[in-house]
Chain A
Amino acid sequence: MEPRPRSFYVLTGFFILFLLFLYGPTITIGILSFQGENGGLTFPMRGVSLYWFKDLFEQQAVGDIWGSFRRSFVLGLMVMVTTVVVSVMGGLAFRKRFPGSGILFYLIITSLVIPSILISLGVGLMFSQTGLTVHWSTSGFGAQLTWTLPFGLLIMFAVFNRFDKSYEEAARDLGASPWQTIRHVVLPIIAPSLIGVALFGFTLSYDEFARTLLTAGSYNTLPLEIYGMTTNVTSPVLYALGTLTTVFSLVIIGVFLALALVSNRRRAKAGTDAGKGLV
């Protein structure tokens, strides 16, 4: 191998600084959440304790943290499943151009770039003017889909742009029906990408704030609850909650990445070069 140029070391330094910038603050509040009982929002640490975590589990002075966590989790799963199903169907359909597909494509882009507060305001108004009550599982669910679906579809477009059509043609030549082709050829090949779509669907929903703000109704989701806390809680209990949700997110990400790895391995083990164009 040729020796590394000097620029490599400069850029490595830059990259490490970038990672510090990305992770540093989160790690800091991770440390500060173990602040002693008399500690404040900044260093120095006044002892090390689990006091603030215990505080989180015991008293509920403000709001309903665990209820909001449950709601966010359920909503995340709902959004995840819907995003995967709708994105796969959309990805398959968008492979052919047909009258109207262009308009729908631009709607997807609009859904992605529209300022989130417009969705919040618009859905809120729509519900209040038609006499419906906003609820996280109806209006909140729909509002979040306008954020997760574009991501899911963009991933599916990228996947199908790299998809080798000859596999499908081979299946068809062997007499597979359209459904059999999708079920036994297309879906197994794109499976690892579907795990990616699911990860986006769940985490984007679980952390969504702006589009849920006016559409969740009287029962808060977790990000709304945390935002409410920032205005009236000034103790490290905020950090403890932040650390717990971040750890939860990391576990979810880890599970999805492990699933993707396993499904990639399984595909490789099946012995074909199917999906090589996917990477």
Chain B
Amino acid sequence: MPPEGARPSLPLLTGSPMNKLRENNALKGWMMLSPLALVLLAFLVTPIIMITVVSFWRATEFSIIPAFVWENYDFLFGSPVTYTVFFNTFKYALITWAATFVIGFTVAYYLAFHIRTQTWQIALFLLCTIPFWTSNIIRMISWIPFLGRNGIANSALISWGVIDEPVEWLLFSDFAVILAFVHLYTLFMVVPIFNTMMRIDRSLIEAARDAGANGIQILWNVILPLTKPGIMIGTIFVVTLVMGDFITVRFMSGSQSANVGRLISNDIALLQYPSASATAIVLLLTVLIVIGILLRFVDIRKEL
């Protein structure tokens, strides 16, 4: 974002006209932003406030009652299930992050530094992003013929003689969950990393080569550090998407594994809104803390 008041004519205005101009700017800015502000107020801020309020309410089997009690939080932190489920959530996030980072970085590196014409770069990049614009649910369903008991993976492994009978842990397992996450979210790593890589000044790489660095040294000492902002943005996307997920875990684990999102959606299904709200607030705080830590390493506004 450029700083305000960069135009040369401004220094001529001093004192109160300058202030007026600034007020005018703020007014115009807020007028332009009012639709955005209204949407976010109505469908982001108010719902969060609502969840916070309801997390202190009481629930019976049939209804929820306004109150101010800590019992939902007491129950949440008193139950050993909570800790297992949070641990699971972090486990999914960490493994998925590692896999998407390695794959995403490699793909982005290939597109940015090994493809020589811009037309091909754009074409191949689009080929990577098209699945992002199709349905996630369909993309999850499409793993069934691969991973099922009589699926392609099992038949192939049997015909190659690797295994004697079908393995059961391919579909409906943690393995399937993480595979689906990687399948769905690697694009979120490829796009920002590719974006930062394309902005690296190529003369830096030539300079490194002239100074005697080999390919790996260039990758490690020049490209990787310069790509950090893109990696951070990709990390924010992947980590938050995985931590907030409830549908991939449910579908791909065949309801055998749980993460925090599923804990919330189970409570919702049982109409236990106060309890769901308390869990949701804890999840939101956890995600925001993680993002807060990640944002210390990158200025998003500068990197777009």
Instruction: Give the interface of A toward B (CB within 8 A).
Output: 1, 4-5, 7-8, 11-12, 14-15, 18-19, 21-26, 28-29, 32, 41-43, 85-86, 89-90, 92-101, 104-105, 107-119, 121-123, 125-126, 129, 142-143, 145-146, 149, 153-154, 157-158, 161, 165, 199-200, 203-204, 206-207, 209-210, 214, 223, 226-227, 230, 238-239, 242, 245-246, 249-250, 252-253, 257
- Complex Cα gap A199–B40 (Å): 21
Q: Are B246 and A117 in contact (CB under 8 A)?
A: yes
Q: How far is the CB of A59 from chain B (nearest CB, A)?
A: 21
Q: Are A253 and B133 in contact (CB under 8 A)?
A: yes
Whether B29 is near chain A, meaning CB under 8 Å from some CB there, is yes
Report the nearest A residue to B1, measured CB to CB: A97
Q: How far is the CB of B276 from chain A (nearest CB, A)?
A: 6
Residues of the A chain whose Cβ atoms lie less than 8 Å from the Cβ of B48:
114, 118, 122
Whether B265 is near chain A, meaning CB under 8 Å from some CB there, is yes
- Complex Cα gap A242–B135 (Å): 9
Residues of the B chain whose Cβ atoms lie less than 8 Å from the Cβ of A109:
291, 300
Report the nearest A residue to B148, measured CB to CB: A42
Instruction: Count residues of chain B with CB under 8 A from any CB of chain A.
Output: 86
Count, A-B residue pairs, CB within 8 A? 261
Residues of the B chain whose Cβ atoms lie less than 8 Å from the Cβ of A108:
36, 40
Given A28-B145, A95-B1, A125-B51, A115:B284 Cβ within 8 A? yes
10 smallest A-B Cβ distances: which pairs? Answer: A122-B47, A115-B244, A93-B32, A25-B142, A142-B43, A203-B133, A98-B26, A158-B304, A113-B240, A242-B138
Whether B193 is near chain A, meaning CB under 8 Å from some CB there, is no
Q: How far is the CB of A96 from chain B (nearest CB, A)?
A: 5
Whether B134 is near chain A, meaning CB under 8 Å from some CB there, is yes
Report the nearest B residue to A28, measured CB to CB: B145
- Complex Cα gap A199–B301 (Å): 23
Interface residues of B in 206-259 (CB under 8 A from A): 215, 236, 240, 243-247, 251
- Complex Cα gap A204–B29 (Å): 27
Selected from A7, A15, A19, A114, the residue in CB contact (under 8 A) with B44 is A114
Q: Are B131 and A230 in contact (CB under 8 A)?
A: no
Instruction: Give the interface of B toward A (CB within 8 A).
Output: 1-4, 22, 25-26, 28-30, 32-33, 35-37, 39-40, 42-48, 50-51, 54, 103, 106-107, 109-111, 114, 116, 124, 126-128, 130-131, 133-139, 141-146, 148, 150-152, 155, 183, 186, 215, 236, 240, 243-247, 251, 261, 264-265, 268, 273, 276-277, 280, 283-284, 287-288, 291, 300-301, 304
